[in-house]
């Protein structure tokens, strides 16, 4: 049950909206109920043609005023915010922001996607309402959505010179830790992937061996495989941290050489792995990530727990965790030797956990 705020009449929820509209019009134009029913067309009992005509004239006047206000607002906002200086050189304007080169690249990519969405719907990209509408329709993780909101807010502020504040993302971020694979789990999983797809097996082998991001595999070109010319090294590109040179194991060297030869890779700028036709690294990384995550999701070897997240990034966590454990055991052994403890003694943990000066 709901109560009308004008006449204090109680009614069912499904009838409230029509009743509310009638009361609102009746009070606005001081017309009797019978005229409202006749004008709206719900109840034809009792009518007054003159009152209806008066009401219609008043409604048309208000409608004309509203249309005129909206037209002037559209013209002013369009001339101010959709000028060539902003619309045509937005990428250059973003490049002027006081940000790191990598951050500028991400901002430009984000703005390009958003601008395409606005162009398709003929909407002004520099209006806060448009940005809020765009963000509300995205189906992404909460953390990703908040990052997009912050980026668009900074860009619109820079382009318009106004203190724009976009609607806050009220959803909570649910942080699920990524699973860390043991050496045995990695071996079993890779053997399974080797039977399914040789290419995806190689991608995941590189991820597990070097703990790199998925963009290192999607951006891997023939020229990065230095071992094909001479030596035992290759370059792992990374759009976030830059390139790094790593030693290639004999097993991986043989597999990659055979793979490149079979796929007939000849041009030094040619990508090693397939990840769509687009040369854009972001799109390639996304395509390859979706593919690898699907492999992980459909794996029958991994015992998945709802308390952990299983994705391609878990290889990076696994490598870091394994390296940490290896160096920790070496540090413990050196500490035991330094203070005269027996080998594999667990009492060393007491000394390692003590505060300085304890």
The pLDDT of residue 78: 45
What does the domain layout of the chain look like in residue ranges?
2-81, 86-160, 193-317
235 neighbors 243 (Cβ within 8 angstroms): yes
Q: How many CB atoms lie within 10 A of CB 85?
A: 10
From the first residue on, what is the mean pLDDT of each consecutive set of 10 residues in the chain (358 residues)?
74 73 63 54 48 68 72 51 52 86 86 90 88 91 89 91 88 78 92 94 94 92 91 88 89 92 87 87 90 93 87 89 88 87 79 54
6 Cβ contact partners less than 8 Å away, ≥ 6 residues apart = 20, 23, 24, 27
256 neighbors 200 (Cβ within 8 angstroms): no
Residue found by looking up tokens 């940000």 in the block: 99
Q: How many CB atoms lie within 10 A of CB 181?
A: 21
48 neighbors 32 (Cβ within 8 angstroms): yes
The pLDDT of residue 41: 52
CA 298 to chain centre: 23
The pLDDT of residue 357: 43
Interatomic CA distance for residues 287 and 105, integer angstroms: 19
Interatomic CA distance for residues 314 and 84, integer angstroms: 45
The pLDDT of residue 205: 94
298 neighbors 245 (Cβ within 8 angstroms): no
214 neighbors 289 (Cβ within 8 angstroms): yes
The pLDDT of residue 351: 73
The pLDDT of residue 289: 93
292: exposed, middle or buried (Cβ count in 10 Å: 0-12, 13-18, 19+): buried
- Tokens standing for 252? 């991986």
Reduced to 3 states, what is the DSSP secondary structure of residue 3?
A: strand
């Amino acid at each position: 049950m709901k109560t009308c705020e004008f006449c204090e009449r109680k009614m069912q929820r499904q009838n409230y909206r029509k009743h509310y509209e009638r009361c609102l019009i009746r009070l606005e134009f001081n017309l009797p109920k019978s005229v409202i029913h006749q004008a709206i067309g719900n109840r034809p009992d009792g009518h007054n043609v003159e009152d209806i005509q008066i009401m219609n004239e008043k409604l048309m006047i208000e409608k004309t005023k509203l249309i005129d206000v909206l037209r002037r607002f559209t013209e002013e906002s369009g001339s101010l915010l959709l000028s060539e200086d902003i619309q045509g050189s937005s990428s250059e304007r973003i490049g002027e922001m006081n940000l790191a080169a990598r951050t500028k690249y991400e901002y430009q990519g984000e703005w390009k996607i958003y601008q395409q969405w606005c162009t398709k719907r003929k909407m002004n990209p520099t209006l806060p309402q448009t940005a809020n509408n765009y963000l509300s329709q995205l189906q992404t993780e909460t953390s990703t959505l908040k990052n997009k909101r912050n980026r668009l807010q900074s860009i619109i502020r820079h382009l318009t010179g106004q203190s724009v504040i976009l609607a806050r993302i009220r959803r909570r971020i649910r942080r699920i830790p990524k699973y860390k694979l043991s050496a045995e789990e990695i071996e079993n999983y890779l053997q399974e992937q080797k039977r399914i797809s040789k290419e995806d097996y190689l991608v995941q082998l590189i991820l597990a061996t070097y703990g790199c991001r998925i963009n290192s595999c999607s951006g891997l070109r023939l020229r990065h495989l230095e071992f094909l010319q001479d030596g035992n090294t290759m370059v792992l590109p990374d759009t976030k941290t830059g390139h790094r040179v790593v030693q290639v194991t004999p097993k991986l060297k043989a597999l990659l050489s055979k793979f490149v030869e079979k796929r007939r890779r000849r041009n030094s700028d040619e990508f090693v792995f397939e990840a769509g036709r687009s040369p854009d690294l972001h799109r390639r990384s996304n395509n390859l990530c979706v593919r690898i995550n699907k492999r992980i999701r459909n794996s029958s070897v991994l015992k998945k727990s709802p308390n952990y997240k299983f994705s391609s990034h878990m290889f990076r966590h696994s490598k870091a965790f394994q390296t940490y454990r290896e160096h920790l055991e070496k540090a413990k052994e050196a500490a035991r030797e330094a203070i005269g403890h027996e080998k594999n003694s667990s009492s060393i943990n007491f000394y390692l956990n003590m505060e300085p000066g304890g």
